[in-house]
Amino acid sequence: MSRFGSARAWWLAIRPPTLGAAVAPVLVGSALAARDGVFRLGPALAALLGGVLIQIGTNLANDVDDFERGADTAARVGPVRATQSGLLTMRQVRTGAWVAFGAAALVGVYLIVEAGWVIAAVGAAAIAAGLTYTGGPWPLGYHGLGDVCVFLFFGIAAVVGTYYVQAATVTAAALLLSVAVGALATAILVVNNVRDVETDRAAGKRTLPVRLGAAFGCGEYVALMALAYCVPVAMWQWEGTRPWPLLPLLSLPRAVQLVRTVVTAGDGPQLNAALRGTAQLELLFGALLAVGLLM
């Protein structure tokens, strides 16, 4: 058991299994930039650091906000939450969130110098979404908008933004690839929401599975997976190049296995495993796609 305020408690609070959602889009956007001959190491590393910091800040804010609003209780079947379990105080976790967001803003200053003020708008919107996802007077995640936010900020904005800070432009290929990354990032959230449907309903957190039923959430998960795997095929057909963009299809058997688990899961532990598996799948998919772009 982790001690109160220990490093292990902070490790649990930042939710390392979810951080792949911040890494995958940078891998894809940077690989595309390298393929197009516009790769720049400094902005690429800054995009990676900024994305991870925003993810950590969002996770910490979510940890304390969900506890404060009653969504994280002893009845919850998901992984241990630092605030709810008493491993960290609300003040500690909220301070940690602000530190992470502040550090992300400092990284953003460098990216603004490198790529212009459009990055300021994107970064500010991403931080605002992280703060208001479960916090503020009208939390987005409590009104069924979490899926849209994740798709936009951990898919479209993350991939396209990574490409933009290196190339100073946006391409159709960057937009297309961002759809696959966003779909998989959103699928991680969907597993979480399907697992927590009962406790979320009791707390008034009206996610899409709460509004439309757990079966809808399972169907959404299947659709997101299908969308993600259609993108490499579309990229290959559209560009008419060698079949290397199809490399992500090597991970398809794992995706099918995860779909079966989510659709047939009978308890929380199975969905916890599917959540971790989906996060790992996104990172694997992104790495394979990046390699395919570089071949």
Average pLDDT for 133-156:
90
Kindly report, residue by residue over 54-75, the tens digit of the pLDDT: 999 999 998 898 888 877 676 6
Task: Measure Cα distances from 15 to 9, 11, 39, 171 in Å.
Answer: 10, 7, 30, 33
Average pLDDT for 193-208:
90
- The listed range with the strongest mean pLDDT (77-86, 221-230, 269-278) is 221-230
Q: Say if 2 falls within a structural domain.
A: no
Please tell me whether residue 238 adopts helix, strand or coil conformation. helix
Domain span including residue 43: 7-294
Average pLDDT for 131-150:
88
Q: Say if 207 falls within a structural domain.
A: yes
Mean pLDDT, the chain, integer: 91
pLDDT at 3 over 60: no
pLDDT at 80 over 90: no
Q: Own/partner pairs for 155-158, CB < 8 Å, 24+ apart?
A: 155/25, 155/179, 155/180, 155/181, 155/182, 155/183, 155/185, 155/186, 156/182, 157/122, 157/125, 157/126, 158/22, 158/25, 158/26, 158/29, 158/51
Q: Say if 20 falls within a structural domain.
A: yes
* Contact residues for 295 (Cβ-Cβ < 8 A; gap 6+): 242, 244, 247
Rounded to whole angstroms, the Cα distance separating 38 from 48 reads: 17
Kindly report, residue by residue over 216-227, the tens digit of the pLDDT: 999 999 999 999
Task: Measure Cα distances from 278 to 219, 258, 274 in Å.
Answer: 15, 7, 6
Rounded to whole angstroms, the Cα distance separating 170 from 218 reads: 33
- The listed range with the strongest mean pLDDT (12-21, 72-81, 198-207, 286-295) is 286-295
Q: Say if 241 falls within a structural domain.
A: yes
Kindly report, residue by residue over 229-256, the tens digit of the pLDDT: 999 999 998 887 788 999 999 999 999 9
Phi, psi of 255 (to 5 degrees): -65, -40
CATH number of the domain where residue 16 is located: 1.10.600
pLDDT at 214 over 70: yes
Band of pLDDT at residue 82, cut at 50, 70 and 90: confident
**Residue % of the chain over a pLDDT of 90:** 69
Q: Say if 104 falls within a structural domain.
A: yes
Q: Say if 1 falls within a structural domain.
A: no
Q: Say if 173 falls within a structural domain.
A: yes
What totals of helices (H) and strands (E) does the chain contain, helices first?
Answer: 13, 0
Give the model's pLDDT for residue 188.
Answer: 95
Query: Measured in whole angstroms, how far is the alpha carbon of residue 91 from the centre of its chain?
Result: 25
Report the first-to-last Cα separation within the chain, whole angstroms: 46
Give the model's pLDDT for residue 1.
Answer: 41
pLDDT at 76 over 80: no
Number of domains in the chain: 1
Average pLDDT for 258-270:
87
